[in-house]
Structure 1
Amino acid sequence: LRSAADVVAELESLARTCNRCHQPFREDELYVALEGTSWHQGCFRCAQCLLSLDLNEDFFEVDGRFYCKHDFEVLYSPICTKCNSFIVGKVMKSANYCFHPDCFRCASCDGSLDDGAWCVDGRVALTGEARQLLKNWYCPRCFDKRCETCASCHKPIDKERERSTMALGKKFHVEHFRCAKCGVAFMGRHHFEHNGKAYCEEDIVQVDGKLYSFFFLRYALYRSGGGTIKNRPCCGQPIGGGSHTHCTYISHWLFTP
């Protein structure tokens, strides 16, 4: 006698049909059951090349379609930027670049950057442990060693994505080079040095009384339509020479039409 369970199992088997050919399975026939679908072994094929899939080898499923390893890699797997081989499994991404986790390493110290956080884009909205420079990736420690430091914020200046300026014998982010009095960024405008600090045109005349007379004199000459100044009031030396701090700016700005 057969049990009720055996009868139910047989009926369920007969009710099943192959997902590919839609034919029922023979009694006691071995078939493939995956993701709620059933297949004759001969019908279980790669959706791309149509070759039979060997159950003892790797195959992959995408949106209910099954692929052999070769076609899955060609169709869906990114290529590692470092080793140029297909990536199957976890992918580390930075902008349009992809890496195997073990290939995503600092170009300087070879330390792993696989910590779950990486560059957001190639120019770097940076997070976590990765920094990009000239298509190389660095850990923060090595990246900082390769960059000049802003004299204002004391952070590295990324030449790939940040503008910088040289002033007072130091490097600054453009937006961090500011007037020592009012705090407004120069952003390429003229600045004036006094006692190792930079000032804008409006504030230097308040900080340095001598320069106030120079501004007034230049303005008066401009309004009168001409006039020449042969010697600097600050040091008495001819315009175009002298080493006085003020002389540099008088020559290049105050007495330039």
Structure 2
Amino acid sequence: MGQVYHDSCFSCCVCGQKLKGKQFYDFSGQVFCEEDYLYSSVKHFAEVCTSCGYLITDMVLQALGKSFHPDCFRCVICNETLEGQPFSVDTQNKIYCVKDYHRFLAQTCAACEQLILPTEGSNEIVRVMSMGKSYHVACYEGKSDI
């Protein structure tokens, strides 16, 4: 930090604990013991994981305007980690892997009553919405009375 301290003077600015030989943090020109840095007055500067509620002291994953530990960003159904993976959210901002999102939240076709799922090799659903109902494109085109 570019300064010299007496052993007895090098202490936490919050609790006064002597810091010689201990983990410490320099934040905005003030020196903190590890406990005070992580859990007290400086806490509002640190990111808190939306999922587990613990402070994020290393890598932060930002998604949906929130912060997560990379390992805490998981599908609500299968619990697989979604770091670096495509994901979807429902109307309540619950996070799903694409497979589970389609499996549990897919719309039913009003014509054939089958789930409207992505075509093979795709993660995107194509559907036709008409008069508040969902249809497969082929089912909608094949219905002359719609």
Separation (CA, whole Å) in 1 of partners of 2:80 and 2:37? 31
Q: Which has the higher contact order (CA 8 A, sep 6+)?
A: 2
Aligned residues: 125
Identity rate of aligned residues, in percent?
Answer: 22
Separation (CA, whole Å) in 2 of partners of 1:63 and 1:78? 17
RMSD: 3.6
Segments of structure 1 that go 5 or more residues without pairing to the other structure are 1-34, 116-127, 158-163, 178-192, 198-244, 249-257
**Contact 1:59–1:66 (8 Å) recurs in 2:** yes
Aligned mate of 2:106, from 134, 144, 147: 147
Tell me the equivalent position of 1:95.
64
SS of equivalent residue, structure 1 residue 47: coil
2:89 aligned with 1:132, yes or no? yes
TM-score norm. by structure 1 comes to: 0.39
Separation (CA, whole Å) in 2 of partners of 1:49 and 1:114? 38
Change (3 A) 1:59 1:147: farther
Q: Deviations over 1:52-96 (max 9, x none)?
A: 22523x322223432222222232322222222222211222234
Of Structure 1 and Structure 2, the greater helix share is in 1
**Contact 2:106–2:117 (8 Å) recurs in 1:** no
Segments of structure 2 that go 5 or more residues without pairing to the other structure are 108-115
Q: Deviations over 1:140-188 (max 9, x none)?
A: 222233233599xx9348xxxxxx844596348xxxx9xxxxxxxxxxx
| CA-CA distance at 1:37 after TM superposition | 2.5
Q: Any residues of structure 2 matched to 1:70-219 within 5 Å, and which?
A: 70-73=35-38, 74=40, 75=42, 76-115=45-84, 128-133=85-90, 134-145=92-103, 146-148=105-107, 149=116, 155-156=124-125, 165-167=129-131, 170-171=134-135, 196=143
Tell me the equivalent position of 1:62.
27
Tell me the equivalent position of 2:7.
41
**Contact 1:87–1:99 (8 Å) recurs in 2:** yes
TM-score norm. by structure 2 comes to: 0.61
Separation (CA, whole Å) in 1 of partners of 2:141 and 2:54? 59
Of Structure 1 and Structure 2, the greater strand share is in 2
Q: Deviations over 1:34-60 (max 9, x none)?
A: x3232222222223333322523x322
